[in-house]
A and B are shown apart, each in its own frame.
Chain A
């Protein structure tokens, strides 16, 4: 989120994010500004509107306060597993250690969220309203996970259009028509469905494990073991996470079950944790 120098610096070559030059040399300073059609010459950010400049007393979301970290989910033979930890962090303070970040929508579908917890509570309220409508209709028909996913896509995209996003990355998991369903929606409306979805840090830590080991016809034991390994990796490497997880299981036969919070065995006595550079060349 901090403005960073790009990794395609002409001086240093591609893939290297070097420091900005401390002193801008005359060749850089005297260069005339290249006309770029998509950027205004005034130097402003393209298409950015500052609500304060519009003299609007309402403020729009600028940064999240209490946040949840990654969510990870996989399909397996009987349904889907959705896992995440139970931490609500206040910046880097581990403030709320018993937040449930998985919301049980109906007997076919769960929604889990990373990002701002208060926005997730608002989304849970919206889903609750939809579920209550279904209940009042009393015709045995419930919202399918794909419908919930479409609905959340539109909600997130419309809030993004108002420059007031719900600061969440959502995972929708469930079973419909006997088939497992997994989808993700981001805070600017980016969405996709796949056999394994993740948000946040898990994109980089857990997704490779899923690509290696997840199969749509894997057994429940294999799927659980894969999920435990993914949760462990995210806990080892994400500083804002705790060793207290919940896994939601949605199957076509047994509906939704969200586990009680549990901990996983972690080892901190690996020599590479204690002395990461002991065997590195040139290290001290």
Chain B
């Protein structure tokens, strides 16, 4: 390191260097991470799966853009939703899309939800010691045609559930989903799945209400919600306008 340089009048950064040489940090080390906000929600039903994500992208207290997507549609039956850092999200989605194309070439058929779930977990764990700052959900229809939602932490630990949410508004939305979709206790044996018996339109209304409510109190959720509805007939896209404040 540089020798302990004394403070020099007129050199604007010498004070910083002098103190750094003595071992004090006068400012925070640059961080490779940033949270760009946004919330994602996924709900699994008997024959459908709804996955939605807000479209506001922020940094600190600024809004960068009101129209950024957090969802990636991999196949007709699988969608990945990621909250957290946008740069890592785009890099992760790019990687997964490439792996998806390779899988289709290797196997002659699209990836199933469970295969995607495992692939995402492995991809995240690969970067265990410099993680993707993304909090993910994989949503789709499983081989039996029933809704499937998998939720992840930043390093790839995952679990199938009936519904989940991630992102800046998750503490606001998760209790509402727990209340309305009545999850079976995870302590029960044999384990019960939490796929909701609600029909599609009611579950969709619930998801929309959840976002409207989260948008009221979470500053990072707002502008629009992009909703993908996955059924055996394919994926339909819906949009919900939220408040711009």
State in angstroms the CA–CA spacing of A190 and B59 once bound together.
9
A192-B29 CB under 8 A given contacts A65-B13, A157-B87: no
Contact in complex: A63, B33 (CB < 8 Å)? no
Contact in complex: A191, B27 (CB < 8 Å)? no
Majority-rule SS of B interface residues: loop
- CB < 8 Å neighbour of A192 from B32, B57, B129: B57
User: B12 contacts the other chain (Cβ, under 8 Å)?
Assistant: yes
User: B210 contacts the other chain (Cβ, under 8 Å)?
Assistant: no
Contact partners of A153 in chain B: CB under 8 A: 87, 90
1/0 contact trace for B22-64 toward A, CB 8 Å?
Answer: 0000111111111010000000000000000000010100111
Contact partners of A228 in chain B: CB under 8 A: none
User: A2 contacts the other chain (Cβ, under 8 Å)?
Assistant: yes
Q: Looking across the interface, which residue of chain A has its beta carbon closest to that of B59?
A: A190
- Chain B interface residue count, CB cutoff 8 Å, equals 33
Question: Which residues between 138 and 193 of chain A lie within 8 Å of chain B, taking CB atoms?
Answer: 153, 157, 160-161, 163, 165, 184, 186, 188-193
- CB < 8 Å neighbour of A62 from B29, B64, B131, B154: B29
Contact in complex: B30, A165 (CB < 8 Å)? yes
A47-B28 CB under 8 A given contacts A157-B91, A190-B87: no
Contact partners of A65 in chain B: CB under 8 A: 13
Contact partners of A157 in chain B: CB under 8 A: 87, 91
- CB < 8 Å neighbour of A160 from B13, B57, B87, B90: B87
State in angstroms the CA–CA spacing of A207 and B58 once bound together.
13
User: A45 contacts the other chain (Cβ, under 8 Å)?
Assistant: yes
Q: Can you report 13 residue pairs joining A to B where beta carbons are below 8 Å apart? A: A47-B33, A47-B131, A48-B31, A62-B29, A62-B30, A91-B12, A91-B13, A93-B12, A153-B90, A160-B32, A160-B87, A190-B59, A192-B68
Q: Give B contacts to A, CB under 8 Å.
A: 1, 12-13, 16, 26-34, 36, 57, 59, 62-68, 85-88, 90-91, 129-131, 154
User: A133 contacts the other chain (Cβ, under 8 Å)?
Assistant: no
Question: Which residues between 199 and 232 of chain A lie within 8 Å of chain B, taking CB atoms?
Answer: 203-204, 207
Contact partners of B91 in chain A: CB under 8 A: 157, 189
Contact partners of A91 in chain B: CB under 8 A: 12-13
Contact in complex: B87, A2 (CB < 8 Å)? no
1/0 contact trace for A26-58 toward B, CB 8 Å?
Answer: 000000000000100000010111101000000
Among A63, A163, A193: residue with most chain B CB under 10 A: A63
Contact in complex: B28, A63 (CB < 8 Å)? no
Q: Looking across the interface, which residue of chain A has its beta carbon closest to that of B14?
A: A91
State in angstroms the CA–CA spacing of A52 and B23 once bound together.
12
Interface band, chain A: 35 or more
- CB < 8 Å neighbour of A61 from B1, B30, B63, B129: B30
Contacts A63-B27, A190-B59, A192-B57 supplied; 9 other A-B pairs, CB < 8 Å: A91-B12, A92-B12, A157-B91, A188-B32, A190-B64, A190-B85, A191-B87, A193-B65, A194-B67
Contact partners of B27 in chain A: CB under 8 A: 1-3, 63
State in angstroms the CA–CA spacing of A186 and B90 once bound together.
14
Q: Looking across the interface, which residue of chain A has its beta carbon closest to that of B26?
A: A2
Contact partners of B85 in chain A: CB under 8 A: 188, 190
User: A236 contacts the other chain (Cβ, under 8 Å)?
Assistant: no
Q: In the assembled complex, how far is the CB of residue A93 from the closest CB belonging to chain B, in whole angstroms?
A: 6
- CB < 8 Å neighbour of B64 from A38, A160, A184, A189: A184
Nearest first, the 9 A-B pairs at minimum CB distance are A91-B12, A189-B87, A192-B65, A194-B65, A203-B62, A1-B27, A190-B87, A3-B28, A190-B86
Q: Looking across the interface, which residue of chain A has its beta carbon closest to that of B28?
A: A3
Q: Looking across the interface, which residue of chain A has its beta carbon closest to that of B94?
A: A154
Contact in complex: A190, B34 (CB < 8 Å)? yes
Q: In the assembled complex, how far is the CB of residue A208 from the closest CB belonging to chain B, in whole angstroms?
A: 10
Contact partners of B90 in chain A: CB under 8 A: 153, 189, 191
